[in-house]
């Protein structure tokens, strides 16, 4: 990463609220550990416990976003 880009990122970080700085720090630490924001095993265990498929997660998220951002007539009525 160039020095200019690193400086720009530092300046952006400095402008964040304390809560957002904590979130960014947590995400970066988890990424360094190879875990991402959540641990895959934790997510898979939760889904299995509740009988939820990953397809269900995607479809439910998509429907929620349509309700929030898109026209309601785009929802699939089953």
Q: Give the pLDDT score at 25.
A: 87
Same domain, 1 and 29: yes
Same domain, 51 and 62: yes
Q: Give the pLDDT score at 77.
A: 57
Same domain, 1 and 28: yes
What's the half-sphere exposure (Cβ side, CA atoms, 13 Å) at 20?
Answer: 6
Structural domain of residue 23, as residue ranges? Answer: 1-37
Q: Give the pLDDT score at 13.
A: 86
- Number of domains composing the chain: 2
The answer to whether residues 37 and 27 touch, using CB atoms and an 8 Å cutoff, is yes
Q: Give the pLDDT score at 76.
A: 60
Write out pLDDT tens, residues 19-78.
Answer: 999 988 888 887 777 666 667 788 889 999 999 999 999 999 999 988 888 765 555 655
């Amino acid at each position: 990463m160039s020095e200019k880009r690193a400086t720009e990122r530092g300046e952006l970080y400095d402008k964040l609220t304390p809560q957002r700085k904590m979130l960014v720090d947590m995400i970066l630490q988890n990424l360094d550990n190879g875990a991402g924001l959540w641990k895959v095993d934790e997510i898979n265990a939760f889904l299995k416990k509740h009988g939820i498929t990953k397809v269900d997660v995607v479809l439910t998220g998509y429907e929620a976003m349509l309700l929030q951002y898109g026209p309601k007539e785009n929802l699939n009525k089953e």
